[in-house]
Structure 1
Amino acid sequence: MSDASLKQSAQTRATEFNRGFSLNELAYQLGHIHFGDHSQEEDVSILGICDDSRFARAGYALLCLPRSKEQASAYASAAEAKGAVAIIAVGVEVQTNLPLLQLDSMLQAGQLLRRMFHTEGAGSHYYGVTGTDGKTSVTWMLREALTRLQDKPVWSCGTLGWMRDNDDIRDIGNTTPSLLTMHAMLASACLADVHAVACEISSHGIAQERIAGLDFNTAIWTNMGHDHLQDHGGYAPYLATKASFIQQTASHGGNVVANADHKDIREYAPEQTCWYGHGLFRDDVDLAWEQELPGLLRLKSRDEEIVIEDIPLGDFHAENVACVALTLMVSMAIPLTELPLLLRNISAPPGRMQELDASLGQVYIDYAHTPEALESCLKATRKLARKRLIVLFGCGGERDREKRPKMGEIAVNLADMVWITSDNPRGEVPAVIASEIEAGMRQAGAHQAYKAEVHLQLDRELAIAESIAAIQDGDVLIIAGKGHEAYMDVGGQRLPWSDASMADKYLHQKHEAYAT
């Protein structure tokens, strides 16, 4: 899919209005207006809005956001050629002959979009889920639990897309989509009488103010780890970015639910935070959790205790379910004793400990692509392995390089066999990425008594084929890093790819070989 068609699929169809908006009226309410060669009496009616000049139409306004920078004037000219009647610029200078509404901040832009889409008095409950790992799983499980609770529909958006239900998933391009797409999506939710919307809130989404003008009723902070540090200037500003969303939600009276087992979250979360944490015998949390057996979760709040059965495998999923449980208690006033009905047999999203049909051993696809996620995944699956634990993984190119040796060290210390391979190399050389992973493994081997058998196979298909050929009865194989992703990013091109499909292919071949 081309960048243009991907962008178009990310834009919802709620960007046209049933009635026109007076540019003068909007200017009076929200900002400062400059008319260029036009006089103020030459007011225009805005019939729709877009944030990409390629999708401008007659009667549209083009929304120029801060990231357009020096290209803003060129975008304005392109939109004018397609029939646009006005430009709305946010913190950027635009040279244009069209009427120009100049806004000072993304917050003003968000307020303008709420007026345009008539969502200022919306009744939907907005949940925002942030954290390094767990956002997708918590959002998925929360949507499923809220759907069980209410007759009205519940939507979610994030890494998997904009989800109306399990069979209606639409690509939105980014974990947290653009400001316009966010507001248009929530406008669609209002029209459809959606009870609640659960949104993944990424660090990029916060930093670029893609959620400006949206007051979330409940904010959730799952954990903190190492990811995207190169985009934020290090761990400290990355942490501060996450914290700013949580603190902003609390400042306007929203609920906050957070993981008590991360000291950085403890330090930055506001006073009114409600906490969940691992270990039943503690008094510093509102909800304590313990997974005594795979698939069985015990929750305790004050003197009450319940058991939830048939949850997805893995301690990290137990933690995710506990997070959802406390969120329901806090945001919907659900008693602890009613949670088993809502959370029993809750599902995990695709690519999160997704089990494949394997005749020998067990094979799982998992999205783990950070040191913390890989460690949690391997510790959880070690409990399932009667014999060897095997892991296949790589690290993405043009992303946080600090995590590469850390992931190598974790893999070699927690698994019995390791395959290092490619994972979205982008513009980097896969062999260089692999060498940085191996550096952590050598460091680990120097002072650890336990060291795994390591294989280097940069062709991901061959690595999957080799690791599947190696598994025996009682082994567990984790194919980590890409999860649900349907592409491999190589040299700036997204090539079709699926870990699950590729693994199924070689599992099928192995099964046929044993059958004969």
Structure 2
Amino acid sequence: MLDSKQVQTNQAQLKQAQLKRAHSKTAQSIKPLLLEFGIQAGDITIESLVLDSRDVAIHSAFIALKGHVRDGRDFIPQAISLGAKVIIAECETQAEHGHTSMREQSLIISFYDLSAQLSALAAAFYGYPAKSIQVIGVTGTNGKTSTVQLTSQLAALLNKRAASIGTLGSGVIDQSGACASHNETANTTPDAISMHKLMAQFAQDQVKQVALEVSSHALVQQRVAALKTDVAVLTNLTRDHLDYHGTMQAYAQAKRELLKQPELRFAVLNGNEIESKHWLAQLPSAVTPVIYGIADESLMLTDAEHQCLAKDVVYSNQGCRFKLVSSWGECDIQLSLLGRFNIFNALAAIASQLCLGESLNDIAKHAHLLVPVTGRMERFGGDNSPTVVVDYAHTPDALKQALVALRQHSQGRLSVIFGCGGDRDTGKRSLMGEVAETYADDMTITNDNSRSEDPTAIATDILSGCVHPEKVQVVLDRKAAIEQAVLNATANDIILVAGKGHEDYQIIGNQTVAYDEREYVQQMFERNIT
């Protein structure tokens, strides 16, 4: 352990080391790195921090955490056998903090409260890369993925190099909404080391803004605890993850932990969501609240100093338009997005960009170019043809939400085409049939991933939930079902094709066959079959 006099003596050296790390590759001595945490260690060079002992290399520092499921300290022998020069192991008491010992050729360093401090350690190792990036953290039960993607898209449309991190992976976003460079992520929110490593890569790639999904698990596990964050966004809060959090109260409080992010400047809160009142009650004095939402009877927060509200919303099969009334001015917004929920997602993205200094006029000029997440309420056709919407909805609730959303846009009939997966939850099949019959005008049952089951038997299960099964079309060839529905529709009609979304395959029997629904629908309209 270092006493206070020793710490003061090392301050100048520490600042120099921080600056050096911020502008260098990750190979570095552990000595100045650990000084930041009150630990005196030898001058050993490491090139990476590693959580998985299987990834250890000779210049790695293995981080042995007392995990929620497994104890990383149990894997110290494996890390030693793989040649880890340094092992930083979580210890139980403050008195053990900084204690060092040698085991074979590995230096083992005890680190108190390492799970909570890992984000700070990773930030220091990578030279605090988020300092040079605008960071927008988005949390909530639903809408995180879409809000993050729309936020990064909007930044790209405004000529800002932007990236996103979340369920769809991580990477730089181009102006079309596509991910120009894509990496898979194991979790919605990466672990603390991966998070700062990504930020370092983005900083090196001249990225100026990153939007990321922040899950309740990540907040409880402090994966982003030391991530400098400019804007915190709340989408909504409904029942979820109670197997992990135990109670709704604990789940809600976990989400509010986002307000504790270092250097947080703005909290962008859903004014139509009652949970936002609790966020306001816990808001740090240095954080400016901004309320977004739709100005109708469901708006709960009406007296906010800073706001970004949609008024006079008009829906069509092409999207929607509304008047944006905000603290930055007023303008008309046109969106090519479907669903009331996507208005909220877009408003959160717009409010975040306004907080970070973007021009309202520039935002208004580019908003119509925003596109949905691939395979989520994705629109094809329109104009003089029926509108086909491809969506991933494959549960009764998701199907209901999609149909309710599209009803607002439909100027004609609303049809739905869907199936249910084989060798999966059979109980939901009748419920899917019930939902489709209740909320759509026309319904076609088709094949999904039938796997080892007979598609006809699956269709029969779905029909059992219908009051009038005789009115339901059953066309098991999925392409034929879509084409038939389009040929029978008018330009004012909307056809929801549910269940596949972004997937590019179908599982029939024990075969996985190529099938990209989005591509097929696009090609169908290019053939002008209507």
Which of the five TM-score ranges fits, normalised by the shorter chain? Answer: 0.7 to 0.9
SS in 1 for 2:356: helix
The offset of 1:113, in angstroms, is: 1.0
Q: d(CA) in 2 for partners of 1:354 and 1:108?
A: 41
Q: Please say if residues 311 and 318 of structure 1, whose CA atoms lie closer than 8 Å, have aligned partners that are also in contact.
A: no
Which residue, out of 140, 145, 155, partners 2:154?
145
Distance 1:357 1:47, change over 3 A: same
Report whether the alignment pairs 1:29 with 2:46.
no
Residue matched to 1:9: none
Q: Please say if residues 66 and 92 of structure 1, whose CA atoms lie closer than 8 Å, have aligned partners that are also in contact.
A: no
- Aligned residue type for 1:273: P
The offset of 1:197, in angstroms, is: 0.8
The offset of 1:436, in angstroms, is: 12
Residue matched to 2:269: 258
Q: How does 1:63-462 map to 2 (within 5 A)?
A: 63-67=63-67, 70=70, 72-73=72-73, 75-90=75-90, 98-103=106-111, 104-119=113-128, 122-150=131-159, 152-165=160-173, 166=178, 167-245=180-258, 247-249=259-261, 252-269=263-280, 270-271=282-283, 272-279=288-295, 283-284=302-303, 286-290=307-311, 291-294=313-316, 295-301=320-326, 304-332=329-357, 334=358, 336-356=360-380, 361-368=386-393, 374-382=399-407, 383-384=409-410, 386-392=412-418, 411-417=436-442
Q: d(CA) in 1 for partners of 2:254 and 2:450?
A: 26
Give the TM-score normalised by the residue count of structure 1.
0.74
Give the TM-score normalised by the residue count of structure 2.
0.72
SS in 2 for 1:187: helix
Q: d(CA) in 1 for partners of 2:396 and 2:272?
A: 17
- Aligned residue type for 2:253: A
- Aligned residue type for 2:517: A
Distance 1:67 1:73, change over 3 A: closer
Residue matched to 2:501: 483
Distance 1:58 1:301, change over 3 A: same
Q: d(CA) in 2 for partners of 1:451 and 1:224?
A: 36
Residue matched to 2:5: none
Q: Please say if residues 156 and 163 of structure 1, whose CA atoms lie closer than 8 Å, have aligned partners that are also in contact.
A: yes
Q: d(CA) in 2 for partners of 1:71 and 1:398?
A: 33
Q: Please say if residues 50 and 60 of structure 1, whose CA atoms lie closer than 8 Å, have aligned partners that are also in contact.
A: yes
SS in 2 for 1:267: helix
Comparing 297-306 with 253-262, which one deviates more in the overlay?
Answer: 297-306
SS in 2 for 1:30: coil
Comparing 309-318 with 173-182, which one deviates more in the overlay?
Answer: 309-318
Unaligned runs of 5+ residues in structure 1 are 1-13, 34-39
The offset of 1:163, in angstroms, is: 1.9
Q: d(CA) in 2 for partners of 1:19 and 1:90?
A: 23
- Aligned residue type for 1:292: V
Q: d(CA) in 1 for partners of 2:420 and 2:248?
A: 22
- Aligned residue type for 1:213: A
The offset of 1:198, in angstroms, is: 0.8
Distance 1:482 1:108, change over 3 A: farther
Q: Please say if residues 322 and 334 of structure 2, whose CA atoms lie closer than 8 Å, have aligned partners that are also in contact.
A: yes
How big is the alpha-carbon RMSD for the aligned residues of Structure 1 and Structure 2? 4.8
